[in-house]
Structure 1
């Protein structure tokens, strides 16, 4: 069947142009990272291997993420697209590279959204129980997952500006709560706040710091998500690269500060702490009402990272629908809200279904968080590596010389490959050992779709990366 005989695409009102300011773009980027949730979990896990080098693991991860961001920014300051990395890869790697990047990025966003929904369920449930509202058991978790997932879907479908502002408020509140706690902890520690062992890296083995760096890098996934709002941003060629780089740098500095403080205050107890922030609050003598506030902040951070990836999924699938790579029904926006509602109405229930089904099978909510986030991370790693490879090819075609880009590309691709490898070898215990296989199986199914399109609808392949994109004047 030829492309000309397929069903006509639905009428498309288009995305809302110029709706997003710089602060809202930064909110989208930071919300997709969920720094509060990372601080609550990751430093303790890194300390197990990195010890007094925990802050170094975060510092090295920040450098690597900035290298990835620099590669992405080469596209963002020349192309403003709703297709995110999918569109960028098309400009450097061609149709197949774009297809692979788009598919893996959707997988990444989906996994992080579904896993983080479970994180929000955990912490909101804790808050409600602390406030005397009994929420427990599988059905309580399912109820919270449905309510939170429904709210996330509602915010994203009502408008990108609304969802970004919700994310901004939630992240400001959660980061402020945690930062205040950490500052109070340092003041409470007095002279002990200066920890020579951390500056001298006492007992920190290079291998342990490197292993910790892997976990630290995972704490940044989704940092570039503002690039999916290129068609909806004001002054996108300047605002989006700034949002990507400054959000990564700002969050990296916060991570280093939080890691240093947690080690300085808790010492060796950090490695065995189930809830480091609660333990710090206890050490400094925070009042009883602070614990629910702290947990609410972490729950809000997790919720924000459900909203932000859904925004990205909606826009990538919307672009794929317009181009015929995905079903064309997705290539239309809501007449009034100007959001990719069909894609969101399809994927949001699936995001909710993943934790709900796992809860019904008796999986602990914390395990759901770890397993599903791990699945999503594989998608991000492939997408980041692909766009980093595409960047120098893209600039070479434009005749642009950039001496900094090649080192950033090598660092970015090497680090993403190392992160992928470190999550596969040595082979982890079940079920983490089958998660990479599940990821590869889904990618293989998607590639089969690409092969079918190339054979039966070559016009679709030729159109990849050509829609919903503004190109800076004078740039090809």
Structure 2
């Protein structure tokens, strides 16, 4: 094994990123504003006034997962992300499988984000006048993403920081309008736990939990971070705590707005835009659409940046074609794996649109795909933590409890996630997902046989 063990044969990427840049990568993939625009209205529809509590529990759960990753991140760093951690406890084969799962996850999220970003920019452009087909925006945004991510890593990272900051500011602006609106009363009674029921919290918990997926992408920057063993653990922690704090505030404040507005707003195509119209904000539609557009673009940069680095690692392992190991001669970015991965995602998005799926349908299908892959990856890392510490004779009670509770939590979340899929398209997505896993296992097994 070469890349996954971080040997000197790893292609030389620019080691130039500080803590802020590494953290930006993780937060961009989480996409806080995407949660405000899409997930929080769904959670409120399920959990009602208990939305803030639902997000609090989800944040505590994801903190357990992040602590497992942080335990490894203090010792190992590379471009393969969490596959590097799995290598320590479960060996080469499971590390390669984890890399394959990460590739499927980021590929699924990449298609999702291309579709949603194209829809958002199409809506925004339509407000200005010309109406262009979605495929046009998929191709143009795909080209823009390739250009930015293939540049010096600091360029794409800086763009993520700017775009995400702007979109977060816009959501806070909407929250301030809600708090000072004459028809809305600031109500602290909702913080009383007696106002929440178990069924309300449980029904929205899965959506809230899924709002955090992607925070682990900071681990793919191990070869470009100036101080990876120090900064990546901090980035993983910040990328759960900061979005968690934002989600708690937004869930409560936006909940006040939804509570005062007509109930049918939550079933509209864009609940936040409808809420803005209810509050009689003349620029709500344009501002919120702009916020969603830049956040989708920011998240796309983060996802394809992570996908390119995982693809580079798998290319060095000969799981992907040799072209995926190509490094940009001037910018020292993994341009080969980026071109391959982004090209497949653009083609996949265009095919799904041609099949008649709307961006919201693609969001459901590919979100299911990517989330399932990451749940399995988190589980493999948790198992690896226990086995690694046991093998080295340092399995403490705290690590045993941390690993066991996290595995139980992830198993419960995965079962709940699968049991909630009752639509044909989503069930077909799960079937395709497992077929691709089998394909990956076959490729990995063949490579193992060739090397032996």
Residues 1:192 and 2:185 aligned together: yes
2:223 to 207, 217, 231: 231
Residues 1:67 and 2:59 aligned together: no
Q: In the alignment, which residue of structure 2 is the partner of 1:99?
A: 96
Q: Deviations over 1:454-474 (max 9, x none)?
A: 22223xxxxxxxxxxxxxxxx
Cα distance in structure 2, aligned partners of 1:214 and 1:357: 29
1:179 to 160, 172, 193: 172
Q: In the alignment, which residue of structure 1 is the partner of 2:4?
A: none
Q: Deviations over 1:338-391 (max 9, x none)?
A: 111111111111111122111112211211122112111111111111112212
| Distance of aligned partners of 1:166 and 1:398 in 2 relative to their CA distance in 1, 3 Å threshold | farther
Cα distance in structure 1, aligned partners of 2:271 and 2:177: 15
C-alpha contact (below 8 Å) 1:185/1:280 kept by paired residues: no
C-alpha contact (below 8 Å) 2:184/2:257 kept by paired residues: no
1:272 to 260, 267, 276: 267
Cα distance in structure 1, aligned partners of 2:57 and 2:380: 21
Higher RCO (CA < 8 A, seq sep 6+): 1
SS across alignment from 2:34:
helix
Show the 5 A alignment for 1:28-107. 28-107=25-104
Q: Aligned-pair distance for 1:405? A: 3.2
Cα distance in structure 1, aligned partners of 2:404 and 2:218: 24
Residues 1:343 and 2:337 aligned together: yes
TM-score, normalization by structure 1: 0.88
Cα distance in structure 2, aligned partners of 1:391 and 1:164: 30
1:253 to 245, 252, 261: 245
1:391 to 369, 378, 385: 385
Cα distance in structure 1, aligned partners of 2:190 and 2:237: 31
**Aligned residue pair count:** 442
Where structure 2 has 5 or more consecutive residues not aligned to the other structure, the ranges are 2-8
Q: Aligned-pair distance for 1:190? A: 7.7
Residues 1:164 and 2:161 aligned together: no
SS across alignment from 1:432:
helix
Show the 5 A alignment for 1:52-451. 52-135=49-132, 140-188=133-181, 192-197=185-190, 199-200=192-193, 202=195, 204-267=196-259, 269=263, 271-288=266-283, 290-400=284-394, 403-451=397-445
Cα distance in structure 1, aligned partners of 2:184 and 2:111: 43
Q: Aligned-pair distance for 1:293? A: 2.2
C-alpha contact (below 8 Å) 1:30/1:223 kept by paired residues: yes
Q: Aligned-pair distance for 1:411? A: 3.4
Q: Aligned-pair distance for 1:110? A: 0.7
Q: Deviations over 1:186-234 (max 9, x none)?
A: 12258712242453453x4313312311111111111111110011001
Q: In the alignment, which residue of structure 2 is the partner of 1:463?
A: none
Task: Kindly report the root-mean-square deviation, in angstroms, between the aligned alpha carbons of the 2 structures.
Answer: 2.1
SS across alignment from 1:434:
helix
TM-score, normalization by structure 2: 0.92
Cα distance in structure 1, aligned partners of 2:396 and 2:119: 46
